[in-house]
Amino acid sequence: MKVIYPGSFDPVTNGHLDIIQRAAKNFDEVTVAILDNKSKSPLFTIEERIAMLKEATKSLENVNIDSFSGLLVDYVAKSNTNTVLRGLRAISDYENEMRNALANNSLNNDVETIFMVSKSEYTFLSSSVVKEIASFNGDVKNMVPEVVCKQLKEKYK
Ligand code: PNS
């Protein structure tokens, strides 16, 4: 079974990476689909986010990195799967995730969303938290892959 793991990944965190690694074990193929949405004013360009995710997942043979713009359901319709994977960190994620899953399914009845629960050690972790800490020169080395740590230092130097 193939799954699409979509997100902004601005930047990818160890929490995302944990979901990707566990998905790679449990599914035949995992496509990480990065949303290219300039209106969200991301810190990292789409090219930078692709490069960081490629580096962080290079040892995982059944994981590939792609990007999309527009609606997720349109991207899913052009792929060879109908299954979207999302991670759930806490109950607070559930409301948004349920809304998106229902919206996506109402736009395209074939699109199914499945969820993996994040490890408890990553419950607090998000790209926003990482950017905030890094912007004040805080240590994020236990929160993100090494390549992201380097790139954050570059951005905020
Ligand atoms: O990492 P994020 O920012 O939580 O990921 C959210 C993402 C990219 C999965 C979601 O915003 C998305 O799919 N955006 C594309 C537009 C869309 O299809 N929205 C869902 C219908 S409301």
**Protein residue whose Cα sits closest to atom 7 of ligand 1:** 7
**Residue 102: which CATH number?**
3.40.50.620
Q: How close is the Cα of 147 to the center of ligand 1, in Å?
A: 24
pTM over 0.95: yes
Mean pLDDT of 133-140: 97
Token duo for residue 28: 């035949």
Q: How close is the Cα of 9 to the center of ligand 1, in Å?
A: 11
Name the H helices within the chain. 14-26, 46-56, 72-77, 91-107, 127-135, 146-155
Mean pLDDT of 1-9: 98
Task: Tell me if residue 89 is catalytic.
Answer: yes
Q: Give the domain range for residue 20.
A: 2-155
Is 157 a residue whose pLDDT tops 90? no
**Does the beta carbon of 6 sit less than 6 angstroms from any atom of ligand 1?**
yes
**Does the beta carbon of 104 sit less than 6 angstroms from any atom of ligand 1?**
yes
Using CA atoms, how far residue 122 sits from 82, 118, 130, 144, in Å, is 27, 7, 12, 11
Instruction: Indicate which atom in ligand 1 lies nearest the CA of residue 86.
Output: 9
Total of domains in the chain: 1
Predicted confidence band of residue 40 (pLDDT cuts 50, 70, 90): confident
Q: Which residues contact 57 (CB under 8 A, 6 or more apart)?
A: 17, 20, 32, 63, 65
